[in-house]
Amino acid sequence: MAFDALYTNNQIQKLKVILPYIDPSMQKNMAIYIKYMELKYTMDLFKKHPFHVCSANERRQTPDIRKLCHELKPYCSESESQQLEQMKSMLQTMEMYQEMSQTMSAMQELFPDMGKSDTNGIFGSSMDELLMGMLSPEQKAMFEAFSGSQSQ
């Protein structure tokens, strides 16, 4: 939306509005003319202003991948949409793992014997096993795939 606002003008917008009211035999030529006008306007704009007209980095330091996935989804095919959902799920899994890891580190500082075996078996599993036990099978698979690619 913001991109369209930057790279068009009122004349082009008026042409877009009247396009459906033009004789169907002329609509194809008018659509091509509109795209040509947008291209010409954009090229003129960059000649006058050689700097970046818009940039995500100016708005925020780190991109919000979830928001980006959400914004892309309406324009994606079904398979691309599923891939975006998988990416969002993987990010959520990694964030959850980081949060749990931080919590477990804090708990280990409070309870230093937590990672060691005891006679009652209460603290018998390692931190990693405990964290992995909290993940769903899909999350475990994503985490293992992510961990394998990180170590390489």
* pLDDT for the residue 128: 64
* pLDDT for the residue 122: 47
Greatest Cα-to-Cα distance within the chain, rounded to the nearest angstrom: 86
* pLDDT for the residue 57: 52
SS3 track for the chain: CHHHHHCCCHHHHHHHHHHHHCCHHHHHHHHHHHHHHHHHHHHHHHHHCCCCCCCHHHHCCCCCHHHHHHHHHHHCCHHHHHHHHHHHHHHHHHHHHHHHHHHHHHHHHHCHHHHCCCCCCCCCCCHHHHHHHCCCHHHHHHHHHHHHHHHC
* pLDDT for the residue 146: 66
The answer to pTM > 0.85 is no
Provide block-wise average pLDDT over 10 residues at a time, the chain (152 residues).
76 92 94 94 85 56 78 89 88 83 78 57 56 74 66 51
* pLDDT for the residue 61: 63
